[in-house]
Amino acid sequence: MESSRRSFIKKTAVASSAVIAAPTIVSASVFGANDRINAAVLGVNGRGKNHIQSLMELENVRVTTLCDPDMNLLKARQKTFKETYDKKVALEQDLRRVFDDKDIDVVSIASPNHWHALSVIWACQAGKDVYVEKPGSHNIWEGRKMIEAAEKYDRIVQHGVQLRSSPAVNEAIQLMRDGYIGRVYMARGLVFRWRPSIGDKGTSPIPPGIDYDLWTGPAEKRPFTENLVHYNWHWHWDYGNGDVGNQGIHETDLCMWGLDVGLPNKITSMGGKFLWDDAKEVPEVLTSVYKYPDEKKIIQFEVRPWCTNAEAGATVGNIFYGDKGILVVDGYDKYTSYLGKDRTPGQSGSDGGKSASGMDRGAGGTTGHFANFIDAVRQRDKSILNGPVETAHLSSGLAHLGNISYRLDRQLTFDPKAEKFVNDAEADKMLKRNYRKGFEVPETV
């Protein structure tokens, strides 16, 4: 399974990349098994709470600093931290002060999408190792800059696609590599989440305790509205990427991993808002198709927001199609397979328990993914990462391509090697954003 994962990363990193600068080796802390690693968590409203919990579960790892533009959230998390762990934790609103702190070894990033890439780059430049939530990037261009920064500063960067640390999902990938369902030619990604109307709260004064300038960071600064802060930024283009770039990154990543492909050549995407007249800018329903003519493979991806059916038993997951059967990954940690015309049940598995060969499957999940990250940090070995920085760029990039096709309302042709569209200046403009002064993702990292 490990060789398959590395083969995928090597193939996709080369097949879909422009030439990147040779690494510049910087000094890196070397940790022994008994050395404590100090961590800071950036963004503490949603997934950040899981980051705190998972890091604190690991041996010789200590969360020493919490960072968020909202001091109200910070104080609430500080109180919970003291109650849960009987330890003090420092608070900081400005992530730049976190990067200046020489006592912090690693940072985990759970801020809104528009902050991810710049946070990773700044952290690498400051000599920190990084765990970054999905999607790794807000646009394709800055995803490439993340890879360049990790290489230049020789940092360990793990992407938060925790299903890559699931023993059962790795088992499923290996079955496909071994030809269990034959030649795998198609993958289908499913994101059927209950996403209600968010209404429209209009603009309002900035609440006390929130540094809205810092929250906005690289993005265009709009008048403050509860339509954005703290969760519904997901549904606005300047800050989020819709559900294909939210929940969907787990599934875009698995589609590419299972098919063993990089970024596609042809992209078609359609959808819209059919249910609510609310403040969301992104489509509620989105269907995207990604074609790989040379490999004779295709990805279908669908986002649905409300009442719906399951497909092959899954509402969030992946279906892989081979000429001998199908394999279904349901969620993050289990799979089933069906063989032949009659869909005869085949091999299945889930994390925990025993595999078909009698081996302990163990557990993955967020804590397992963080454990893999910390192991790589201690060993200074990027090769053992389950979700290295290349996956952050590629799986996010697939979502971005679908969104660009949707927003332009037409099929696109893409050159994966150049990471540009073919003779399409209008589409190329959407590979990058305009950055606010003082928060630019640099051309040269």
| Over residues 290-299, mean pLDDT | 97
pTM, to two decimals: 0.92
State yes or no: pLDDT of 348 exceeds 60.
yes
Asked if residue 343 lies in contact with residue 349, where contact means CB atoms within 8 angstroms, the answer is no
State yes or no: pLDDT of 354 exceeds 90.
no
Work out the pLDDT band at 364, boundaries 50, 70, 90: confident
Mean residue pLDDT of the chain comes to 92
Confidence at residue 9, expressed as pLDDT on a 0 to 100 scale? 45
State yes or no: pLDDT of 21 exceeds 60.
no
State yes or no: pLDDT of 100 exceeds 70.
yes
| Over residues 246-259, mean pLDDT | 98
Work out the pLDDT band at 352, boundaries 50, 70, 90: confident
Q: Is the peptide bond before 135 cis (omega within 30 degrees of 0)?
A: yes
Confidence at residue 97, expressed as pLDDT on a 0 to 100 scale? 98
Please name the residue that has the structure tokens 């519904």. Answer: 232
**Is domain 2-164+369-388 given the CATH code 3.40.50.2300 in the classification?**
no
User: DSSP label at 430?
Assistant: G
Reported in sequence order, the residue ranges of 101-192 that DSSP labels E, i.e. its strands, are 106-109, 129-132, 157-159, 184-192
Residue 266 burial (10 A CB sphere; 0-12, 13-18, 19+): middle
Could you read off the pLDDT of 42-70 as tens digits, one per residue? Answer: 999 999 999 999 999 999 999 999 999 99
- In degrees to the nearest 10, what's the CA dihedral of 129, 33, 56, 373? 40
Token output for 177: 């590599």
| Over residues 269-286, mean pLDDT | 98
